[in-house]
Each structure stands twice: as structure tokens, then as C-alpha cells.
Amino acid sequence: MIANNPHCVTERVVNTVCAHNCGGRSRLACTVRNGVLVRVEPAPAPDDTYTGLCVRCLTLPQWVYSKERIRTPMRRIGPRGSRQFIPVSWDEALDEIVDRFSALIRTHGSSSIAFVRSTSGSPIASYTRLAALLGGGGTSNFYGGVDMAVHMGLNSTFGDKGMYGQHSNEWTDRLNSRLTIVWGHNPAETAMTAMRHLLNARDAGCEVVVIDPRYSATAVHANWWIAPRPGSDLPLALGLLHVLIREGWIDRPFLIEHSCAPFLVRVDNGKYLRGSDLSPSARSTLQVWDEVQGRAVDLNAATAPALEGRFAVGDIPVATAFTLLSELVSTYTPAHVAELTDLAAADIFDLARAFAQAKPAQIGLGYGVDRYKHSELFSRAAAAIAIVTGNVGKPGAGIGVQSHYHGSHPARLGPGPELPKWASTRPVPMIEVGRRELPVRAVFCQGDWINQRMGDMNVSLDYLKQLDFVVTVDHFFQTTTDWSDIILPACTFLEDTSPTRDALVFGNSIYLRTKVIDPVGEARTDFEIERDLANRFGLGEWFQGTSEDVVRRQIDGARDRAFSNVSYDKVVQAGGAMRLDVPTTPHVQYADLIFTTKSGRAEFYCEELAELGEALPVFVPDHEALPAHPLAERYPLVLVQTHARQRAHSTFFNTSWTLEVWPEPTLEMNPDDARERGLANGDMGEAYNGRGHVVAKVVCNPDFPPGMCNITEGWKQQQYADGNVQELTNSEINAGQTLIWGHANIPYFDTRVEIRPAAPAVRGTRP
Ligand SMILES: Nc1nc2c(c(=O)[nH]1)N[C@H]1C(S)=C(S)[C@@H](COP(=O)(O)OP(=O)(O)OC[C@H]3O[C@@H](n4cnc5c(=O)[nH]c(N)nc54)[C@H](O)[C@@H]3O)O[C@H]1N2
Ligand SMILES: Nc1nc2c(c(=O)[nH]1)N[C@H]1C(S)=C(S)[C@@H](COP(=O)(O)OP(=O)(O)OC[C@H]3O[C@@H](n4cnc5c(=O)[nH]c(N)nc54)[C@H](O)[C@@H]3O)O[C@H]1N2
Ligand code: SF4
Ligand SMILES: [Mo]
């Protein structure tokens, strides 16, 4: 190869790891020709079962150089929302941010600045350090709101594993299962690299049951598809529990030894009975009914704890937690549940029987069951199914989320960058932004906050419009950039070495991110932008070194045994990925049957929620998707927003190969529902409710039951003919979630609409 020869083609292949938040972590082999990314293929993973990528990433060359790419810093010159910007230098842009933020901090304090971030950012380059240090501590931090409700329910049942830690066994464990319920999850489109494990399991004789109101791409591959009405999974779970308990298909030893089932609960206040309730000098030990002694005793002193029964302890009426659960589900007969769910009673009975007979059986939740108002109650009921049948902590069993991170082997990294003790942020739940008084005057957005993270968008937009100053840092012009004052161009993961979110570990291996190409235009990495801003704020001492230095520290400083065979240098020498020192068998969540609940056991009973009447996973039929809701008459259709196969959220909204297949937002609905409204395939339809509207092309799709329609989330504002799906989505705040976890999940799918033909004026596509 001759340098400086214009006819010479230099070509190299660089391996890195995908950064998009699709829940996978594919290793990518990127061909770079004369400095330009031209091709992406799968690179071998250290464990070959994890080698592979999806079609989306084949389009990365189009993505990274797309015409929407922000190439220089920009300043707004027209009114907010007018999309009128001029390029400015980095110095001008950063100086303006520092001046405006400093002035606000002087006048209103550091909580007047808020930070918010995309889920695809790197954990060490998401402006969290700057947010914690700015103005002497305490900027506002908009957090949460997505993918949290099902985890909340599992957290309160099994103990806190971190808000996203409640995963099922490792993907590769599916093979050990005899029956697996894929519940509100569509891995054929949303966890493509996990789908093969499900298909392998099915081919090996595992019965795959998909519970989804629509005939999804995953249901197509199932042995059994169960289609409840949207938002009715909780009564379905209670109906399954009814059958399991009534028929005695339960694991008594597991219930007595590892769950809260035998704990005595005070009927007067819903709290567990404790020794201290009986004698002020006694300890607060949980009480059970000892069948041999015929009285309440300390849990540890019991020889034969009763599973069932109502008793009087002194003058306190009590019942075992299991008895209360049995009584709750006693009315959820298959016939009654059939009415609540639109299912056949026989299917409910048969599913319970199949689950009880298959040993082991597994429940894998997705996030389709996370986006309703009471999704945390649903996941608690689903967890109770696994608990009463003893399907916890075993290969092929378990309940957890089967989407992201697949129940990776635990591997705790060493410390990240150091911060002073006083550094902190003030958490503001995302769902509350725009809905309560906040001290915030300026928002720094990493990514497309308004389009992607907020439900009920018109409220969010009104909130954003009255702010003094909005900064967005992204790769592409998108919905939030439209409304920003300063826009900064960020490098994509292909131009960066900051590690991928989930901090490097995937399955049983460690993956480093490698820089593939030079920054496009004037883009800088988020790591550099955060550091450049920190330097200007006089906080440079906390931002010494490069992102590689941080990663080196995290790996080389790890105390966890899993890292005993690796060092930063060894991983680099191995090409950027290595297996960790973890067992070669798939990871099994809770294999040790040690739970981090207060009692150390699996608790389907949550005494903290007794005051709300939710100590057990009760069915509260007050939410928008259900037919009894007052809005049901005016807005008869439930609108969900499934995650689309051709994007990771909004990412890939602009790649031409994927747009060839699916060029614009579509409103998918049952053909009969469409016909009733005078709509046919290809017509422009307007979905509307009291919160807003959207116009999109109607696709009559019999895979959707009558009463349910869909617009996939993640299209950008400029792609809609009019409105935005996010204008329609529900943002009702759940009291139980807020009581226990301090914040609530956004119930995006708990949304009702009516649909009509769009007025001719809005049938065109926006410029
Ligand atoms: N291609 C692609 N992959 C992705 C993403 C992406 O945007 N694109 N996003 C990633 C992220 S962050 C997430 S959170 C996951 C989300 O991915 P999934 O967990 O698969 O969630 P969804 O696509 O939202 O919905 C899954 C299924 O739930 C069904 N559903 C809707 N309502 C109900 C209901 O009431 N009951 C039941 N039982 N089912 C219901 C829907 O019809 C849908 O088929 O995907 C990840 N993977
Ligand atoms: N209506 C509705 N809304 C939803 C959902 C739904 O089901 N329905 N799903 C929700 C879910 S589960 C999730 S996880 C969220 C995902 O929401 P996000 O994480 O916000 O979605 P993305 O599209 O991945 O990223 C948003 C923007 O961030 C930019 N970006 C990505 N990576 C980086 C980076 O490293 N640096 C910088 N500076 N910018 C970056 C992208 O270019 C994009 O414009 O969406 C939520 N929104
Ligand atoms: S988007 Fe997801 S499935 Fe596709 S290559 Fe990246 S990690 Fe793999
Ligand atoms: Mo998500």
C-alpha cells in the first residue's frame, strides 16, 4: 500500500459492539474503505451462540452519513419550533450554554437546570457527572418512566435487583424449559438475536405459549397463542392462580420454605403479624401458625408452619398470606375471567394445567405488559404463578423480563470516575414533568426527549415552550431539536470508544467498544462534550483522562471473580471481546433462593401497599384500556405503540433500505373496524382523543383484534402527515408505584382513541 497515492484504496475491518437500545449487544465487523464505513457484518462473539446481528445494522453506513446528520453546532434564529438554525462554532455554542446556565444558577439555583438522556447513551458519557457537579450540586434530573412497572412488581416480590435487574434466566436457558410463556413480548421483532434461543427450545420440545392480543410475529412461531383483550393480563393471571390453587397444582414445600405464604397477616391492618404485636418486649420477628403447637410462633421457631388458615392470636384476627391469596383468586373462575379477558374459559383452565404439568415451566415477560396503569400489579400476579408452582431459581424455570440483557451472569465492574461526596442531582420523575411545579428553567437533552420519552406530548411541549433555554445534543435533527436553542452534534458509537450502556457485560462475555471511523463533520463524543463543558465551568479536575482510562479502571479495578481472567489489555489483545470467568452453563436467576426482600423470601404479599388495598395483586379495573372506563364509549379503540422491527426506537428512522420496506407511519387496525369508519387500506386516517391527534396511513390488518389498533413508536415528527402518536398517549400517574418507588411508569398503551378519515388538508406529507 503506497501512502499519498490517490488511486490506492485502503480497506480495514474493525470489530466493535452495537450500542443501540434494542436489548441486544451484537458484535459488528465494520469494513472501512478510505476512512468511510461501507459494510457491516456479524463479528464472532466469544461465545458463538451470541454471534449475529440484525438487518437494521446492515444499514449503519446509511445511518451514520444520513442527510439528517447534525454536522456542526447550531443556534436557533427563528421562533422556537420553526426549524430555523445557523451553524456556529463549538466555542460560541459552548460559551452560550455556560453563560445561560451560569446566569440561571446565580438567579434560581442549580435545580433550575435539568438533564435528561436517551437510553442509548454510554453510562460514562451521559452528562451524569456534569449534572451532579454543576452549581455546587443538585441540578434536576428527569428520570424513569419507561420499562419500569413490571420490574417494580418483580422487585417487590423477589427483592430489589436494581430497577432493571429483574430478568429471567439467560437466553440460552430456554432449552432447559418444558413450557415457556412469552407474555406481552415480541422477540421476533424486538429481540431478534434472542429469538433463535426460543426457536431452538421449541424445536427441542419446549411448548411455546405466546400471550398477546394480536397475532404478532412471535405468535406465528408459537405452539399456542392466547389473545386476551388489551390491558386484561392481570385478571388472566388471577384466573390461572385460581385454577392452580383450586386443583392443588401447587408446590407446598417451596411455598412454605421459600415464600411468604405461611406468614400471618393481621386482618385488621393488612400488616404482617410480628412478635412485637403480641408483647411489647418481643422482637419484631414474623409470625407463622405452628400446626404442631397450635399457636403463633416466630418464623424460625416453627416446626410445622401452616400454609393455610384463619386464626385468632390473642384478640388479633390473622390469616396466612397464602389463604388471603387463595381467597382473592377464588372469584376469578375461568368463566368469570373469560368475561374479563375475552378468552375461552377452557383455554384458561388448560393453560393452568399445562403450566402445572410441565416441569420446569418458565414465564418471560416483555414490555407490552409494562405500559398499562397497573402493570406492577400484573407482574406481581404473574410472579405468584411461578412461586405457587415452585418454578423459581431453577434451570428452565423462573419469571423475569426476557428482553434486555437476557439475565447475564452477574459481573460487577470496578469503580467508575470519582466524584466528590457533595455531588448529587435532584430526581424528578419523567412522568411528572409538565404536571407539577418544578424549579427548572433550562433543559439539557441528550437525545430526543420529547418525541421518545414523554407521553401526552402536548403537555410536554407546552412545558418545553415556556422554558428559558433548551440544549439538545444528538446525531440527527429530530423532534426535540426543532424546539431547541442550541444543538450540538454528537459522535455516534462508531466514532467513539465510550462503552455501551449496560457497562460492557453481555451474557457471559465482556465487550469493548472500538472506534471505527473518524467523527463525521465537527461531531464530538459525548465524553468530550461533557468534559469541554466541565472545563468551562471550572470543574475540569473531575474530568481528567480519556474514556479508555475510565474503562481500564473499571475492568482492572473489578474485584468480582468474573473478571479474574481478564484485564483491559487482555481484552484489547483478544480483539475487544472475551469470555468472563463465569460458569459455562446458562445463568439462572435466584439459583441460590436467596431473595433480598425484608423477609429473605419471595413475597407475593406486599405489606407496604396495604394502605392502598394493594397488598395482594388485586385487579383494579379503573384504567383507560378496559371497556368499563368512562372514555370507552367516546374512544372505542385501544391504541398501542409496539416497537418496530425496522428501528430501535427512533434510531434508523432515516435509513433508506429500511424506509423502502416501511416508508411512513402506519395506523394498523382490524379490517372490520376500518370498514365501519369508512376507511380502506392506504387511506389516511386520523386517530384522536382528548389529548391530541395523529394522521397516518391505514393498514387493514386482521392480526389485530377488533377494538385494538397500533402505530409503532419512534417515528420522528417530520415523518408524520400531521400530529404525533405521542400526542395521544396516556400519562396517568399510578399512586401505588409512586408510594413504593417514588415515581411511576408511563402507561403509554393504556390509551383510547377514535379514528376517522383524515381531512384532505392534512393528507399530504410534511415538508
Ligand atoms: N426492533 C426493535 N427492537 C427493540 C426496540 C425497538 O424499538 N425496536 N426497543 C427495545 C426496548 S427499549 C424495549 S422496551 C423492547 C420492547 O419490546 P417488547 O417487550 O417486545 O414490547 P412491545 O413491542 O412494546 O410489545 C410487545 C407485544 O406486546 C403486545 N401487547 C400490547 N398490549 C398488550 C397487552 O395488554 N397484553 C399482552 N399480553 N400483550 C400486549 C403487543 O401486541 C406486542 O406484540 O424492545 C427492545 N427491542
Ligand atoms: N409512545 C411510546 N413511547 C415510547 C415507548 C412506547 O412503547 N410507546 N417506548 C419507550 C421506551 S421502552 C424506551 S426505552 C424509550 C427510548 O427512548 P430513547 O432512548 O430516547 O430513544 P432512541 O430513539 O434510542 O434515542 C433518542 C435519541 O437519542 C439519540 N441518541 C442515541 N444515542 C445517543 C448518544 O449516544 N448520544 C447522543 N447525544 N444522542 C444519542 C438518537 O439519535 C435519538 O434521536 O422510548 C419510550 N417511548
Ligand atoms: S440493533 Fe440490536 S439486534 Fe441489531 S445489531 Fe444492534 S444489538 Fe444487534
Ligand atoms: Mo425500552
Tens digit of each residue's pLDDT (9 = 90 or more) over 650-700: 999 999 999 999 999 999 999 999 999 999 999 999 999 999 999 999 999
- What would the mean pLDDT of 149-163 be, rounded to a whole number? 91
Which band of pLDDT confidence, cut at 50, 70 and 90, is reported for residue 8? confident
Tell me, in angstroms, the distance from the centre of ligand 1 to residue 475's CA: 25
User: Of residues 421 and 404, which shows the higher confidence score?
Assistant: 421
CA of 187, closest atom in ligand 1: 20
Q: What is the pLDDT of the chain when averaged over all its residues?
A: 94
pLDDT of 546 > 50? The answer is: yes
Whether the Cβ atoms of residue 612 and residue 735 lie closer than 8 Å to each other: yes
Tell me, in angstroms, the distance from the centre of ligand 4 to residue 120's CA: 10
The residue nearest atom 4 of ligand 3, judged by CA position, is 54
Residue 357: how many other CB atoms lie within 10 Å: 12
Q: Per mean pLDDT, which range of 97-111, 288-302, 397-411 is the poorest?
A: 397-411
Q: Coil, helix or strand for 199?
A: helix
Q: Which helix (H) or strand (E) holds 667?
A: strand 666-669
Whether the Cβ atoms of residue 306 and residue 322 lie closer than 8 Å to each other: no
| pLDDT value at residue 6 | 63
State the Cα–Cα distance between residues 153 and 133, nearest whole angstrom: 33
Tell me, in angstroms, the distance from the centre of ligand 2 to residue 449's CA: 7
| pLDDT value at residue 163 | 78
State the Cα–Cα distance between residues 80 and 58, nearest whole angstrom: 36
Ligand nearest to the CA of 30: 3
User: Of residues 27 and 124, which shows the higher confidence score?
Assistant: 27
Which band of pLDDT confidence, cut at 50, 70 and 90, is reported for residue 337? very high
- What would the mean pLDDT of 385-409 be, rounded to a whole number? 92
pLDDT of 215 > 60? The answer is: yes
State the Cα–Cα distance between residues 454 and 267, nearest whole angstrom: 41
Top mutation candidate among 26, 147, 367 for ligand 1, by most atoms within 8 Å of CB: 367
Tell me, in angstroms, the distance from the centre of ligand 4 to residue 476's CA: 20
Ligand nearest to the CA of 651: 2
Residues linked to residue 28 through DSSP beta bridges, in sequence order: 16, 42
State the Cα–Cα distance between residues 586 and 589, nearest whole angstrom: 10
pLDDT of 567 > 80? The answer is: yes
Dump strand ranges (E) for 524-671. 577-579, 637-640, 666-669
The answer to whether the CB of 151 is under 6 A from ligand 1 is no
Top mutation candidate among 164, 212, 452 for ligand 1, by most atoms within 8 Å of CB: 212
State the Cα–Cα distance between residues 379 and 745, nearest whole angstrom: 13
Tell me, in angstroms, the distance from the centre of ligand 2 to residue 566's CA: 32
Which band of pLDDT confidence, cut at 50, 70 and 90, is reported for residue 766? very low
User: In this structure, what is the dihedral angle of CA atoms 515, 518, 524, 525, given to the nearest 10 degrees?
Assistant: -10
State the Cα–Cα distance between residues 467 and 440, nearest whole angstrom: 8
Of 486, 468, 484, whose CA–CA distance to 90 is shortest?
Answer: 486
- What would the mean pLDDT of 58-71 be, rounded to a whole number? 97
The residue nearest atom 5 of ligand 3, judged by CA position, is 53
Of 369, 392, 502, 504, whose CA–CA distance to 168 is shortest?
Answer: 392
State the Cα–Cα distance between residues 272 and 275, nearest whole angstrom: 10
The dihedral region occupied by 718, where left means phi > 0, alpha psi between -120 and 50, and beta the remainder, is alpha
The answer to whether the CB of 264 is under 6 A from ligand 1 is no
- What would the mean pLDDT of 59-66 be, rounded to a whole number? 98
- What would the mean pLDDT of 338-365 be, rounded to a whole number? 98
State the Cα–Cα distance between residues 314 and 296, nearest whole angstrom: 10
- What would the mean pLDDT of 610-620 be, rounded to a whole number? 96
CA of 649, closest atom in ligand 1: 7
Residues linked to residue 74 through DSSP beta bridges, in sequence order: 87, 487
Ligand nearest to the CA of 23: 1
pLDDT of 601 > 90? The answer is: yes
Tell me, in angstroms, the distance from the centre of ligand 1 to residue 488's CA: 31
State the Cα–Cα distance between residues 666 and 734, nearest whole angstrom: 30
The answer to whether the CB of 748 is under 6 A from ligand 1 is no
| pLDDT value at residue 765 | 43
Q: Which three cell numbers stand for residue 423?
A: 455531588
User: What DSSP character marks residue 279?
Assistant: -
The residue nearest atom 41 of ligand 2, judged by CA position, is 447
| pLDDT value at residue 363 | 98
* Ligand 2 first shell, C-beta below 6 A: 21, 118-121, 146-147, 367, 371, 446-448, 452-453, 473-476, 478, 490, 526, 641, 648-651, 713-714, 725-726, 729, 748
| pLDDT value at residue 2 | 45
Work out the burial of residue 154: count CB atoms within 10 Å of its CB; fewer than 13 is exposed, 13-18 middle, 19 or more buried: buried
CA of 638, closest atom in ligand 1: 32
Q: Which helix (H) or strand (E) holds 674?
A: helix 671-676
Residues linked to residue 444 through DSSP beta bridges, in sequence order: 115, 471
Q: Which residues surround ligand 4, an ion (CB under 5 A)?
A: 147
Tell me, in angstroms, the distance from the centre of ligand 3 to residue 58's CA: 10
Report, in angstroms and rounded to the nearest whole number, the Rg of the chain calculated over CA atoms. Answer: 27
| pLDDT value at residue 355 | 98
Q: Which three cell numbers stand for residue 571?
A: 481484552
Q: Per mean pLDDT, which range of 260-269, 456-465, 550-559 is the poorest?
A: 550-559
Percent with pLDDT over 70 in the chain: 98
The maximal CA–CA distance of the chain, rounded, in angstroms, is 95
Of 532, 480, 482, whose CA–CA distance to 97 is shortest?
Answer: 532
The answer to whether the CB of 531 is under 6 A from ligand 1 is no
Whether the Cβ atoms of residue 161 and residue 447 lie closer than 8 Å to each other: no
Q: Coil, helix or strand for 638?
A: strand
| pLDDT value at residue 763 | 46
State the Cα–Cα distance between residues 757 and 516, nearest whole angstrom: 47
Tell me, in angstroms, the distance from the centre of ligand 1 to residue 576's CA: 31
- What would the mean pLDDT of 139-167 be, rounded to a whole number? 92
Q: Which three cell numbers stand for residue 446?
A: 441528550
* Ligand 3 first shell, C-beta below 6 A: 18, 20, 22, 24-26, 53-54, 56-57, 192-193, 648
Top mutation candidate among 53, 171, 186 for ligand 1, by most atoms within 8 Å of CB: 186
The residue nearest atom 21 of ligand 2, judged by CA position, is 649
User: What DSSP character marks residue 69?
Assistant: B
Which band of pLDDT confidence, cut at 50, 70 and 90, is reported for residue 761? low
Phi and psi angles of residue 490, each rounded to the nearest 5 degrees, phi first: -100, 145
| pLDDT value at residue 497 | 76
Tell me, in angstroms, the distance from the centre of ligand 3 to residue 646's CA: 11
Tell me, in angstroms, the distance from the centre of ligand 4 to residue 345's CA: 33
Which band of pLDDT confidence, cut at 50, 70 and 90, is reported for residue 507? confident
Which band of pLDDT confidence, cut at 50, 70 and 90, is reported for residue 408? confident
CA distances from 218 to 194, 199, 209, 403 (A): 12, 10, 10, 13
Of 409, 361, 504, 388, whose CA–CA distance to 167 is shortest?
Answer: 409
pLDDT digits (tens, 9 = 90+) for 583-595: 999 999 999 999 9
pLDDT digits (tens, 9 = 90+) for 253-262: 999 999 999 9
pLDDT of 500 > 80? The answer is: no
| pLDDT value at residue 5 | 65
The answer to whether the CB of 211 is under 6 A from ligand 1 is yes
Q: Coil, helix or strand for 72?
A: coil
Ligand nearest to the CA of 119: 2
| pLDDT value at residue 451 | 96
Tell me, in angstroms, the distance from the centre of ligand 4 to residue 364's CA: 16
Helix, strand and coil percent figures for the chain, each rounded to 5: 30, 20, 50
Residues linked to residue 265 through DSSP beta bridges, in sequence order: 272, 319
Top mutation candidate among 713, 730, 731 for ligand 2, by most atoms within 8 Å of CB: 713
Whether the Cβ atoms of residue 131 and residue 425 lie closer than 8 Å to each other: yes
Q: Are strands 113-117 and 469-474 parallel, antiparallel or unpaired?
A: unpaired
- What would the mean pLDDT of 424-433 be, rounded to a whole number? 96
Which band of pLDDT confidence, cut at 50, 70 and 90, is reported for residue 762? low
| pLDDT value at residue 152 | 96
Tell me, in angstroms, the distance from the centre of ligand 1 to residue 221's CA: 16
State the Cα–Cα distance between residues 87 and 71, nearest whole angstrom: 9
Tell me, in angstroms, the distance from the centre of ligand 3 to residue 54's CA: 5
Q: Which three cell numbers stand for residue 592?
A: 441460590
Tell me, in angstroms, the distance from the centre of ligand 2 to residue 641's CA: 14
Which band of pLDDT confidence, cut at 50, 70 and 90, is reported for residue 58? very high
- What would the mean pLDDT of 436-452 be, rounded to a whole number? 97
CA of 455, closest atom in ligand 2: 1
The residue nearest atom 23 of ligand 2, judged by CA position, is 650
